Amino acid sequence: MRSIAIREELTEEWKNRGVKEQLEYAILTAEISKATFGLTPSEYKNKGTVSQNLRDHMTDLELIFSMLGEEVTRARNPKGFVENKVAAIIGGKIAGNALKELEKESGEKVITSENYLPEPKKKLK
């Protein structure tokens, strides 16, 4: 739930800082994700069958690194789309570096195909 709240805070701040279009939100989100995980959200979803919100299928660590990238992005206090895009890349890069350090120290990958919840079972009529 906290991850969703941080995401909502970020999108509200983007709106207040001159990012107005859904397309721009998607671009900024993709920049954070790409710099953090090496994957855009659409590429991330292609790793498994995900019909719900991508965050619903992330492990705790994936959520933590997503939130870190978003929090750094927000904290930079950028104005307008261009500055927000630069901040998104920086925030994602910081989160991505932290992710790589954790993987190096733990010897385990943060992103695996097992990270996704099973698809909901379809109701029989």
Instruction: Report how many domains make up the chain.
Output: 1
Q: Is 125 within a domain?
A: no
pLDDT averaged over every residue in the chain: 83
Q: Is 84 a member of any domain? A: yes
In a domain, 103, yes or no: yes
Give the pair of three-digit tokens for residue 112: 């695996």
Task: Report the alpha-carbon distance of residue 1 to residue 77 in Å, rounded.
Answer: 24
Question: Does some domain include residue 47?
Answer: yes
Does residue 124 belong to any structural domain of this protein? no
For 28-64, how does the pLDDT look when each residue is reduced to its tens digit (9 = 90+)?
A: 999 999 999 998 888 876 665 555 677 777 888 988 9
Q: Determine if the pTM surpasses 0.95.
A: no
- Taking CB atoms within 8 Å and a gap of at least 24, the contacts of 107-114 are 110/37, 110/59, 110/61, 110/62, 110/65, 111/37, 111/39, 111/44, 111/47, 111/62, 113/47, 113/48
Domain assignment of residue 107, given as a range: 2-115
CA atoms of 57 and 110, how far apart (whole Å)? 13
Q: Is the dihedral of CA 78, 84, 89, 93 positive or negative?
A: positive
